[in-house]
Amino acid sequence: MESDKEILVEYHQKYAAAKKRTCILVTAIVTAIVLIVTAVCTLGVYFGVYYSPENDKASIKPKSLMGQSCSDPCILNLVESIPDNLTFVKGAPLHSSTYEGIMSLMANAKETIEIASYYWTLNGQDLPYHDNSSWEGESILETLISSGRDKKIKIKIVQNKPKGRNNNTEALAKYAGAEVRTLDFDKLLGNGIIHTKMWLIDRKHFYVGSANLDWRSYTQVKELGAVIYNCPCMAKDMGKLFDVYWYLGVPGTTVPSSWPSSYSTDINSNTSMQIQYNGTAATTYLSSSPPPFCPNGRTVDIDAIVDVIHKADKFVYIAVMDYFPTTQFSRPRKECLLYQLSQRVRGKYHLPE
């Protein structure tokens, strides 16, 4: 299985000759109470938590913070993958591992597990080389199969159209009774990929982050994400994003010119959700991309990212896999999302071209 970067480079090379031009924005989650900038791609999910009264010295709250309130006792935990043998200095911040976060979510599942994914290589044998660190991915796959087979939990998976067979999802369908649907972007939009990594549990708990369903994402690649527990108010909105993917995964389906109202949301950059995370007040909304996949009320990724950057009071931290290839492999440059993002940030801070 090719790496994310190899696949994206190949995609851009193929896509450069296409009539339609979209641009892929690849970022990693950076989470703080003041600001979160997260992973988005041709089809991605952005999760922003960007406000705490303790950090706000302004007497007037921004309009976008005047949304509905959530009384759920939401818990937000950052999770990360640190490559094996990568050691930080003593005293460096440490978070739970991505593996621990995903395993915890599955342990909490009572009725449903819904997963949006790019590709699946959880078994060591899925790749042409062996590494003992593949055990975490294999453990996740085994636990997921057991969840469906033994605990009778309903499993639904949306995946990007694979180049060949996907042994992992085939095994889940066969042994765990998983329902699997595939998004074919060539047919839906002319080009593109699903790059979302989402785990949604009982529409009550969820994970969103950068980690693929790939054993390397747990032991060989730096990944960052967030696991949110006991938060139905946001999990249900995440469920609406999954429902969009699920609908489009039906063979022969086309993207609606206008989405039915059942897919709409009133949680967005203008009416964000007021939530207590770990006892701290915060404001949250979800965004998605590409725009044709955003029903009424859904904020588009680039608008969400710029919105959060504009609200930053003290700092903006951005972690990306690559900032350059989107302008290297796509033309014209002005149609690229990263170019648009750079221009809008430069405009706010009066930075030179």
For residue 44, pLDDT beyond 60: no
Residue 56 confidence class, pLDDT cut points 50, 70, 90: very low
Give the pLDDT of residue 66.
56
- Which token pair is 349? 């801070």
Task: Quickly state the pLDDT bin for 198 (edges 50, 70, 90).
Answer: very high
Q: Position of tokens 């042409």? A: 128
SS (H, E, C) 15-76: HCCCCCCCCCCCCECECCCCCCECCCCCCEEEEEECCCHHHCCCCCCCHHHCCCECCCCCEE
Paired strand residues for 155: 113
List, for residues 147-181, the tens digit of each pLDDT value: 999 999 999 999 999 988 889 999 999 999 999 99
Q: For position 126, what pLDDT does the model report?
A: 93
Q: How far apart are CA 207 and CA 227, in angstroms?
A: 4
Spatial strand order in the sheet of 96-97: 96-97, 75-81, 223-229, 205-209, 198-201, 112-117, 154-160, 179-183
The CATH class of the 69-311 domain is: alpha beta
- Bridge partners of 80, per DSSP, are 97, 224
pLDDT of residue 332: 55
Predicted local confidence at residue 36, as pLDDT: 35
**Of 118, 7, 21, 112, nearest in space to 331 by CA:** 21
The average confidence (pLDDT) of the chain is 82
**What local confidence, expressed as pLDDT, does residue 185 receive?**
95
What confidence score (pLDDT) does residue 166 get? 87
pLDDT digits (tens, 9 = 90+) for 313-331: 888 888 877 765 455 555 5
> What residue type is 42 in one-letter code?
T
Give the residue-averaged pLDDT of 11-28: 37
Higher pLDDT, 253 or 338: 253
CA-to-CA distance for 26 and 42, rounded, in angstroms?
Answer: 9
130 alpha carbon, distance to own chain's centre = 28
Question: Is the CB of residue 181 less than 8 Å from the CB of residue 12?
Answer: no
Give residue limits of the domains in the chain.
Answer: 1-45, 69-311
Condensed to tens digits (0 to 9), the pLDDT of residues 61-83 reads 444 445 689 999 999 999 999 99
Q: What percent of the chain has pLDDT over 90?
A: 61
Residue 16 pLDDT class (50, 70, 90 cuts): very low
pLDDT given at position 43: 46
What does the pLDDT look like over 216-234, one tens digit per residue? 999 999 999 999 999 999 9
Mean pLDDT for 192-218 is 97
* pTM recorded for the entire structure: 0.81
CA distance 173 to 148: 9
pLDDT in tens, 285-300: 999 999 999 999 999 9
If one compares 343 and 281, the residue with the highest pLDDT of the two is: 281
* Helix-then-strand count for the chain, H and E: 10, 14
Here the tokens at position 200 are 């949604």
